[in-house]
Copies of this chain bind each other. A is one copy, B any other.
Amino acid sequence: MRLPDIKFQLPRWIPDFLEKSGTFFPTGEDRMRFAVALSRQNVKNRTGGPFGAAIFDDSGHLTAPGVNLVTTANCSVLHAEITAIILTQSILGRYDIGDGGRLNFSLYAATEPCVMCFGAVHWSGVRRLVCGARSEDAGAIGFDEGPKPQNWVSALEKHGVEVTRDVLREEAASVLRDYAASGGLIYNPGHPG
Contact = CB atoms under 8 A, between A and B. Distances in A.
A89 interface: yes
Interface of A: 1, 3-10, 14-15, 18, 23, 62, 64-65, 70-71, 73-77, 82-83, 85-87, 89-96, 98-102, 114-120, 122-125, 127, 146-149, 151-152, 155-156, 158-161, 187, 189-193
Copies of this chain present in the complex amount to 2
A116 B123 contact: yes
Given A74-B95, A76-B85, A95-B74, A3 B147 contact: no
B192 A76 contact: no
A127 B190 CA distance: 10
Contact of A96 (B6, B94, B187): B187
